[in-house]
Amino acid sequence: MLLARVRTHPVLGRIFRFRPLAPLIAVLLVLATATATAEAPTGSVIYGRLKAQDVRLSMPPTEHPKGIAIYFHGQNGGVDNRMDEPWLQALVRAGWIVASSDFHTDSWGNEASTQDTTNLVAWAEEQSGGVPIKLYVSGSMGGTVSLNAMTHAGLAPPCWYGVKPAIDLTKMDKVPGGPRIIREAFGGDVPFDRNPVNTIDQLPTSTRYRMVTSPEDTWVRESENSGRLAAGLQARGADASLYVVHGPHDDPSHFDVDDLLSFAASCESEEGQAVTGDGTANAAS
């Protein structure tokens, strides 16, 4: 049917009759159509700006969203980082609102990023008519940003999902530019209580945790980061699980759509809780 439509097209039909090019054109049309269908974002997008930081909501095409998931990007990321890629779009297609922020870009969990999280949570709930925050999704540096928001602002969701999460900021020597960027984010050494590896005992055990990690990741090493977080949480009785993949830090296997959707589905029944007036709570403790 595609070939018939091309032959009858007033312009493409003439080109198609030039036979040396015909097979190539047909293949390109098929590939373009398939790619557009597979990658087209779903729903709608709302942008805003809070305290000089761009914020965004990806809204699912439903009147009854399952909840809000906040995505915390990695180093060098911004408000649109991974938001239009299949990994996070899968959440939107499944009925989730996905919120994001610039988080002061390379903040590494500093005080400004915690305030950004507070601002984003309140804005997302306002824009969505009070849909509760049920899930945090983080990547690399975003693990630190999200965990520090939980520790320092009490913004604890029912569920937390970390992909190769950075937990010990003193062990980021293999991350390109890591030590320098981290010092710039804090204006010097990382404060003790801003390094999540030192505050695992303060994280809420009512939150359920899921970590995606790879033994071959030489930038954010499993033994120094997700392994320590999982062990520390489990020792306190928290529900913390590891999903082991393989490959370097940016290997595509880290972004497993099925695993993310499965964990998100287990969070759908969580009540969540809107931010209180002082902006210091988000989920039952």
What is the tens place of the pLDDT at every residue in 40-58?
677 899 999 999 999 999 9
Report residue 65 as tokens.
Answer: 């969203």
pLDDT of 273: 53
pLDDT of 72: 98
How far apart CA 29 and CA 92 sit, in angstroms, is: 28
Q: Which amino acid is at 221?
A: R
- Greatest distance between any 2 Cα atoms in the chain: 72
Query: ∠205-209-210 over CA atoms, to 5°?
Result: 165
How far apart CA 232 and CA 210 sit, in angstroms, is: 13
pLDDT of 280: 34
Q: Is the pTM of this model over 0.85?
A: no
Give the helix ranges, DSSP H, for the chain: 2-8, 12-16, 22-39, 86-93, 111-127, 141-153, 178-186, 226-235, 257-267
Residue 163 bridge partners (DSSP): 139, 212
pLDDT of 272: 64
Q: What is the mean pLDDT of each run of 10 residues along the chain (285 residues)?
A: 40 38 37 43 92 98 96 97 97 98 98 98 97 97 98 97 98 97 98 98 97 97 97 98 96 97 96 47 32
φ, ψ at 28 (rounded to 5°): -60, -40
